Amino acid sequence: MKLSKITKYALCAALVVMFASCAQNEKTETNAKPATSEKAEASDLMNIRYIDEDSLLSKYNLAKDLSESNLKLSNQYDAAQQQRATEINKFASEVQRKYKNNGYLTEESFNVDQQKLNKMQADAQNYLGRLQRDIENQVVQNNIQLNDSVNNFLKVYAKQKGFDMILRKSAAFYINDKFDVTAEVVEALNKRYTKVEKSK
């Protein structure tokens, strides 16, 4: 399984969230009205905004740092895979050359190298499998971190602004551009984000 597919879509998948909160009505009705009328009024009074998630991912510093981290993890896997493949191919070529040149004096000595080659292949497969699982787990953790950061901020932001709902742009067929709060949200997110350097 190619890790590039995981890292390509991982951060986008992390933002498949909707944020909804109930806002208090400033006006209270004194006369009872039919239920249908109340629903219509509630719909008319909803204060909704939206965020362009693609723009947020490309401009939010945390998202960019995590995307870079995911890319490094993918490159780490590719490098490890290439290294193991080179080692195995080199030894396999030596075995083949030695066999063609009658370098094996006994069948036993040939079998020893064949077993070594098989072990190298099995060890490589096990190692790369563990490495892939570790990398996938780290990508998941990165996605959770990004999702939590955006989700927690938007809950506070929506409450402060008096918004009833903040949608993803891709979740709607059409939203007027005047309801776009992406730039304001990204600016606020970047102001509060402090990059933490991980010890190597």
The predicted structure's pLDDT at residue 198:
55
Crossing angle of helices 61-100 and 3-14, rounded to 10°? 170
Q: How far apart are the first and last CA of the chain?
A: 27
The predicted structure's pLDDT at residue 195:
75
Cα 140 from Cα 38, distance rounded (Å): 43
Give the largest CA-CA distance in the chain. Answer: 104
The predicted structure's pLDDT at residue 196:
62
The predicted structure's pLDDT at residue 51:
96
The predicted structure's pLDDT at residue 45:
76
What is the secondary structure of 126-188 as a DSSP string?
A: HHHHHHHHHHHHHHHHHHHHHHHHHHHHHHHHHHHHT-SEEEEGGGSS---GGGB-HHHHHHH
Low pLDDT (below 50) residues in the chain? 1, 5-6, 8-36, 40, 199-200
The predicted structure's pLDDT at residue 25:
35
User: What digits encode the pLDDT tens for the residues 46-99?
Assistant: 899 999 999 999 999 999 999 999 999 999 999 999 999 999 999 999 999 999
Residue 195 neighbours by CB distance under 10 Å: 9
Residues 6 or more apart in contact with residue 173 via CB below 8 angstroms: none
What percentage of the chain exceeds 90 in pLDDT?
70
The predicted structure's pLDDT at residue 46:
87
